[in-house]
Amino acid sequence: MIRPRVSRRSPAVLGLAFSLLLLAALPALAQEAPPAAAQDAPAATAFDATDPRWVPGVPVVQRPIMSGRRVELAREYSLVHHGIDDWKLEGPLAVVVHFTGTDSLAGSLGAFMDDELPSSRPDIAAGGRLNVGVHYVIARDGTVYALMPEYAMGRHTIGYNRVSLGIELVGSRPGSLTAAQLDACAALVADMAARHPGMRYLFGHHEYEEAGRAHAVLRLELLQGYAPTVKIDPGAAFMASLRERLKARFSLEFLD
């Protein structure tokens, strides 16, 4: 199998190029006038996809999944689930860590490529046509793949998609994740926290519905009958190690 080639250009240049490509592909959306209610509101700072805060400060390999169709479906999802007619993220205010359920990098990346949810996901089909999507995938050797710009909403955690960045670790079960993935995940989370001061919550997918968790204040789900799914990823041991690493190496602690 041919290994993808990591660009030797700086992460900032790659991230900026990714943002410019997305805007070029979506001119109508980039220039879209706000709804009447928004026009009557006080003036706000214009959204800028080239703002350095959206550019990862760690090395990444670009594997973009954004398209006009995905933007359309994300707006549809956000309106139904959050009451917000927008494909862009709010914040971000949180990071959610997952594993992909397979040890295959190709299989992990491939799961996110289609814009529409495949028939193999009947467990969340009631939630809409938008396919699952996260911002980053971390391979078993620690390579970080960037799939979505951080200002775009993904579909990865029921009730939290509008405010959270998603990280997927290539792995099939708790205990299968590698030391390289732990190092890369900690560095990525620390980098995102430095660029997004409002990001104060970090939790594993298996923790998203646990009672008493601080991140519960962010939860918003308007679709009646859309029940949360039971998750085991990435596992308690990995999240404990991640939190310890963030505290010891980056002096970073979250509210969760």
pLDDT single digits (tens) 84-134: 999 999 999 999 999 999 999 999 999 999 999 999 999 999 999 999 999
What pLDDT does residue 47 have?
81
DSSP code of residue 187: H
User: How many whole angstroms separate alpha carbon 52 and alpha carbon 45?
Assistant: 15
Half-sphere exposure of 186 toward its Cβ, with a 13 Å CA cutoff? 22
Q: Which domain holds residue 82?
A: 11-28+53-250
- What phi and psi, each to the nearest 5 degrees, are found at residue 21? -65, -40
Q: Judging by beta carbons within 10 Å of its beta carbon (0-12, 13-18, 19+), is residue 52 exposed, middle or buried?
A: exposed
CATH of the domain at 24: 3.40.80.10
Termini Cα distance of the chain: 40
What pLDDT digit, counting tens, does each position of 151-171 carry?
Answer: 999 999 999 999 999 999 999
Percentage above 90 pLDDT, the chain: 80
Asked whether residue 5 is domain-assigned, the answer is no
Q: Is residue 44 part of a domain?
A: no
Nearest to 64 by CA among 146, 142, 131: 146
Residue 159 gets the label, from left (phi > 0), alpha (psi -120 to 50) or beta, of left
Alpha helices (runs of H) in 83-167, residue ranges in sequence order: 105-110
Calculate the CA 56 to chain-centre distance.
13
pLDDT value of position 30: 39
Q: Is residue 160 part of a domain?
A: yes
What is the predicted pLDDT for the residue at 117?
Answer: 98
CA 154 from centre of chain: 5
Q: Report yes or no on 39 lying in a domain.
A: no
218 inside domain: yes
pLDDT at 138 over 90: yes
**Tokens matching residue 24:** 């070029």
Longest dimension (CA), the chain: 55
Is residue 255, in this structure, part of any structural domain at all?
no
Q: Is residue 107 part of a domain?
A: yes
Q: Is residue 2 over pLDDT 70?
A: no
Region 219-248 average pLDDT:
96
Nearest to 92 by CA among 235, 218, 230: 218
Please state the pTM of the whole predicted model: 0.83
**Number of domains into which the chain is organized:** 1
Supply the pLDDT for residue 3. Answer: 39
Average pLDDT for the chain: 87
pLDDT at 65 over 50: yes
Q: What is the pLDDT of residue 127?
A: 97
